[in-house]
């Protein structure tokens, strides 16, 4: 874990080659893509002053996104159908929640007790029956063509990147020095997923300068998959720094050394990626040198009992760290329950559906989410923090045999569930409904674009704005959708 100590000087003021390379490695995060990022003239003039006639505009001061990649089953989470045939309802029973006449899966007992702090949408629906993370998180309707191409120039920027970009231009008031606006845990999306590399959480046409600031996880996973279990000494760090104490003086020296190194790299300075590179480098140094944000990563500061309540899993400890980052002033924090290892693992339950859900997916989510909501509420964070719990689709009403193991459920985008809380969101409300097999929406269909519009509205951003992308084309912030009035309180 990073520690800030007093001044440390090398003998005779010299740097070892290893230190030079480590210092240089902190900043080498650029890619070959460069941003062209300007609001249209009209939108730029209105940014920061745009107001909506709908209530709740700008009500959220911060945002926490919990993204369950791979897609959970609506039937085996928040829209069970206990009267359906066994081949539809599955093996799990439905239990009562704290909301009258609202049942959830039996393996979500803790979440069942805190639904009165949430709004549950049971009528999410869209036409792309794929892992459409880019559509869910950016609104890009071309997701089917470019979903697996993270740096494709037609990708739209992630919600967090847009917030970062607009915040840099004063959209949310005076800038808070050294506090990042867009942080993601536990790591860069799809970092440990093979062979697919998913899109959705990157800077898109704004460029890699507006990617999230990703943490890295350092620790052991006794069962192989850190989403199943990690050891208590596991922690999150930022950037490619070593585990030795780092002093403020050494950070300054590294910055100076990098400046000397970069002046000699004329080709880099002339490249289109230079702007993204410099911005990410500067943000890395600021993050490392900012006590509140740096301290937020120190999970050992939390009581062990609370850490165990969150669950000693990667998702649980990432949720706890996210709460700490929000308290440190970060504008938008994302926690991704990502793929780990081969495709179809984690929530993409094409096979061994019941065993995977029962053994670790549902219990780990249940502990983390319920504890997080209660903890944030107790600390007053829910007052101004919008919490989104999202997934890209649901799963088929009927089981099928995949050949890889016990039966599973396939992709199903026509009916699924999402959860929302905080920043004035209605408490204890259920929106929409599905039919007797959770296959079709029977009341109030809601598209992911509607969720994005509502999120921007809550954050004080006009969702009808346009951004200027290469080569001079105007791209809508969301490109359709409507603010969900039922979520405005």
| Predicted local confidence at residue 342, as pLDDT | 67
Which token pair is 119?
């709004």
Dihedral sign from CA coordinates of 410, 202, 386, 475: negative
| Predicted local confidence at residue 1, as pLDDT | 29
- pLDDT at residue 287 is higher than 90: no
How confident is the model over 13-37, as a mean pLDDT? Answer: 35
- pLDDT at residue 158 is higher than 90: yes
Confidence of residue 10 (pLDDT cuts 50, 70, 90): very low
- pLDDT at residue 179 is higher than 80: yes
Q: With H, G, I as helix, E, B as strand and everything else as coil, classify residue 355.
A: helix
Q: With H, G, I as helix, E, B as strand and everything else as coil, classify residue 176.
A: coil
What pLDDT digit, counting tens, does each position of 32-58 carry?
333 333 444 344 444 434 456 899 999
Per-residue buried b or exposed e for 257-292, using 16+ beta carbons within 10 Å of the residue's own CB: ebeeebeeeeebeeeebbbbbbbbbebbbbbbbbee
In angstroms and rounded to an integer, the radius of gyration of the C-alpha atoms of the chain is 22
Range of weakest confidence among 152-166, 263-277, 428-442: 263-277
| Predicted local confidence at residue 340, as pLDDT | 87
pTM, 2 dp: 0.84
- Please provide the average confidence, as pLDDT, over all residues in the chain: 83
- Cα separation, 129 vs 414, in Å, equals 8
Q: With H, G, I as helix, E, B as strand and everything else as coil, classify residue 463.
A: coil
Which token pair is 153?
């120039």
How confident is the model over 104-116, as a mean pLDDT? Answer: 98
- Cα separation, 227 vs 118, in Å, equals 24
| Predicted local confidence at residue 57, as pLDDT | 96
| Edge-to-edge order in the sheet of strand 38-39 | 38-39, 466-469, 473-476
Q: At which residue do the structure tokens 């005076």 appear? A: 174
Range of weakest confidence among 89-103, 224-238, 249-263, 438-452: 249-263
| Predicted local confidence at residue 43, as pLDDT | 43
| Portion of the chain with pLDDT greater than 70, in percent | 78
Kindly state the helix (H) or strand (E) to which residue 39 belongs, with its residue range.
strand 38-39
| Predicted local confidence at residue 286, as pLDDT | 65
Angle 344-420-134 (CA atoms, 0-180°, nearest 5)? 45
Which token pair is 35?
């941003």
Confidence of residue 276 (pLDDT cuts 50, 70, 90): low
Within 10 angstroms of residue 426's Cβ, the number of other Cβ atoms is 15
| Predicted local confidence at residue 41, as pLDDT | 39
CB 432 within 8 A of CB 122: yes
Instruction: Give the domains, in start order, of the chain with CATH numbers.
Output: 20-488 (3.40.720.10)
């Amino acid at each position: 874990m990073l520690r800030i100590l007093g001044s440390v000087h090398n003998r005779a003021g010299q740097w070892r080659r290893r230190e030079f390379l480590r210092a240089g490695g902190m900043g080498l995060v650029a890619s070959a893509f460069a941003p062209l990022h300007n609001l249209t003239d009209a939108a730029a003039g209105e940014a920061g002053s745009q107001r909506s006639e709908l209530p709740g505009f700008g009500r959220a001061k911060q945002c926490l996104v919990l993204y369950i990649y791979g897609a959970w089953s609506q039937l085996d989470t928040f829209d069970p159908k206990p009267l359906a045939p066994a081949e539809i309802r599955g093996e799990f029973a439905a239990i009562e929640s704290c909301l009258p006449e609202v049942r959830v899966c039996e393996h979500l007992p803790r979440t069942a007790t805190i639904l009165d702090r949430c709004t549950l949408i049971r009528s999410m629906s869209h036409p792309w029956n794929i892992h459409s993370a880019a559509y869910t998180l950016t609104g890009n309707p071309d997701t089917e063509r470019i979903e697996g191409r993270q740096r494709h120039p037609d990708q739209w920027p992630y919600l967090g990147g847009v917030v970062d970009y607009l915040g840099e231009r004063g959209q949310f008031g005076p800038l808070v020095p050294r506090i990042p606006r867009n942080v993601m845990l536990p790591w860069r999306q799809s970092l440990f997923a093979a062979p697919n590399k998913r899109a959705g959480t990157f800077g898109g046409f704004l460029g890699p300068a507006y990617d999230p600031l990703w943490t890295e996880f350092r620790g052991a996973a006794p069962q192989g998959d850190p989403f199943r279990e990690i050891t208590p000494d596991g922690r999150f760090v930022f950037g490619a720094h070593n585990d030795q104490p780092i002093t403020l003086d050494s950070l300054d020296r590294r910055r100076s050394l990098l400046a000397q190194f970069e002046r000699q790299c004329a080709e880099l300075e002339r490249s289109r990626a230079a702007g993204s590179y410099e911005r990410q480098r500067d943000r890395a140094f600021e993050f490392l040198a900012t006590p509140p944000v740096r301290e937020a990563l120190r999970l050992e500061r939390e009581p062990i009992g609370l850490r165990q309540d969150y669950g000693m899993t990667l998702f649980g400890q990432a949720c706890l760290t996210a709460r700490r980052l929000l308290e440190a002033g970060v504008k938008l924090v994302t926690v991704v329950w990502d793929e780990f290892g081969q495709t179809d693992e984690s929530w993409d339950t094409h096979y061994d559906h019941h065993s995977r859900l029962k053994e670790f997916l549902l219990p780990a989510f249940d502990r983390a989410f319920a504890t997080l909501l209660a903890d944030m509420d107790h600390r007053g964070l829910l007052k101004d923090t919008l919490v989104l719990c999202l997934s890209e689709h649901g799963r088929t009403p009927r089981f099928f045999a995949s050949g890889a193991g016990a039966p599973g459920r396939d992709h199903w985008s026509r009916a699924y569930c999402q959860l929302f809380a905080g920043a004035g969101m209605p408490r204890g409300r259920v929106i929409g409904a599905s039919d007797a097999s959770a296959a079709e929406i029977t009341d109030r269909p809601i598209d992911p674009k509607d969720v994005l519009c509502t999120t921007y509205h809550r954050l004080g951003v006009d969702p009808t704005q346009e951004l200027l992308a290469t080569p001079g084309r105007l791209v809508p912030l969301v490109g359709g959708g409507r603010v969900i009035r039922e979520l405005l309180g």
